[in-house]
């Protein structure tokens, strides 16, 4: 065997059932980075599913509409919001994520269970212990293998998000202090779970952010 073949084999990541979630406040650049990571993994021969929350299934997409855009959602209370996000996730986990992981495929999820911990728990201040229990039930105990939090100044993120969608949906129309609590919440989560949750400075170029994401992913693939 020639040395080049040996080194290529050693470097080549082993594609296996992995769940990688992307988190962060509004406009932090998740979708761009998910697209790049998916393409890079596919070039290595991995089967990759990119999905999102709320949504990702026909049931979940209906719930997404209700949570974000429906004209009837103005009076939605925080408790109903929590249960709707959880309902969408329950469906996605069982219909898509667990089957894909059991086939040894990679799932990239635009938001997952940490969004509930942070948005409904820390920013809306609903009962933390209840949310932790609900989250475990919803994800059937399947935590992400890696969570990448794209960290960005709240004002910069909101202006990016508004440029993209023009009009703010219900979740984009909260007070500034709400998104500041979200940002602090994700930082706290990363400090509490340093092995799984990585905080990435998203104010840099797309290329630099993608470089960090790739380094964390490679470590996971070769673990
Ligand atoms: P996005 O798809 O544009 O990120 O919008 C989803 C919005 O829903 C975003 O404001 C975050 C919020 N969200 C929660 O509040 N809790 C959750 O559990 C999830 C998944 C999202």
Distance from Cα 218 to the centre of ligand 1, integer Å: 27
- CATH code of residue 119: 3.40.50.300
User: Which has the closest alpha carbon to 108: 144, 142, 137, 141?
Assistant: 144
Q: Which helix (H) or strand (E) holds 108?
A: strand 106-110
Return the percentage of the chain with pLDDT > 90, whole number. Answer: 83
* pLDDT, tens digit, 9 for 90 and up, residues 132-168: 999 999 999 999 999 999 999 999 999 888 887 777 8
Distance from Cα 24 to the centre of ligand 1, integer Å: 9
User: Relative to the CA of 112, which ligand 1 atom is closest?
Assistant: 20
Phi, psi of 134 (to 5 degrees): -60, -45
> Span 185-202, mean pLDDT?
98
179 CB within 6 A, ligand 1? no
* Angle between the N-to-C axes of helices 154-165 and 176-192, in degrees from 0 to 180, rounded to the nearest 10: 120
* pLDDT, tens digit, 9 for 90 and up, residues 19-33: 999 999 999 999 999
55, 65, 85, 115: residue to mutate for ligand 1 pocket, most atoms within 8 A of CB: 115
Q: Which residues contact 194 (CB under 8 A, 6 or more apart)?
A: none
Q: How far from the centroid of its chain's Cα atoms is residue 96's Cα? A: 15
User: Relative to the CA of 161, which ligand 1 atom is closest?
Assistant: 3
171 CB within 6 A, ligand 1? yes
Look up tokens 């998910």; give the residue.
34
Q: Residue 104 and residue 127: Cα distance in Å, rounded?
A: 35
Q: Which residues contact 152 (CB under 8 A, 6 or more apart)?
A: 24, 25, 27, 28, 29, 183, 202, 203
Distance from Cα 220 to the centre of ligand 1, integer Å: 26
Q: Residue 223 and residue 212: Cα distance in Å, rounded?
A: 17
Expressed as residue numbers, the domain containing 17 is 4-221
Distance from Cα 30 to the centre of ligand 1, integer Å: 12
Look up tokens 């650049």; give the residue.
29
Say yes or no to pLDDT of 10 above 80. no
> Span 51-58, mean pLDDT?
98
Domain count, the chain: 1
Per-residue pLDDT band at 1 (split at 50, 70, 90): very low
Report pLDDT for 12. 45
Q: What is the mean pLDDT of the chain?
A: 92
* pLDDT, tens digit, 9 for 90 and up, residues 73-110: 889 999 999 999 999 999 999 999 999 999 999 999 99
């Amino acid at each position: 065997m020639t040395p080049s073949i040996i080194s290529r084999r050693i470097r080549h990541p082993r594609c296996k059932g992995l769940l990688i979630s992307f988190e962060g406040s509004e406009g932090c650049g998740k979708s761009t980075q998910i697209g790049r990571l998916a393409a890079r993994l596919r070039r290595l021969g991995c089967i990759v599913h990119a999905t999102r929350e709320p949504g990702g299934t026909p049931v979940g997409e209906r719930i997404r509409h209700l949570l974000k855009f429906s004209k009837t959602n103005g009076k939605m209370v925080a408790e109903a919001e929590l249960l709707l996000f959880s309902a969408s996730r329950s469906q996605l986990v069982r219909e898509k994520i667990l089957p894909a992981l059991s086939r040894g495929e990679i799932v990239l999820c635009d938001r997952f269970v940490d969004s509930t911990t942070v948005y409904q728990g820390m920013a809306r201040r609903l009962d933390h212990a209840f949310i932790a229990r609900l989250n475990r039930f919803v994800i059937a105990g399947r935590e992400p293998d890696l969570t990448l939090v794209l960290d960005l100044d709240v004002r910069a993120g909101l202006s990016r998000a508004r440029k993209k969608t023009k009009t703010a949906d219900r979740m984009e129309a909260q007070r500034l202090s709400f998104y500041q609590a979200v940002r602090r919440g994700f930082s706290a989560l990363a400090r509490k779970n340093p092995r799984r949750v990585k905080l990435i400075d998203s104010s840099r170029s797309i290329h630099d952010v993608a470089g960090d994401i790739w380094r964390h992913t490679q470590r996971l693939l070769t673990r």
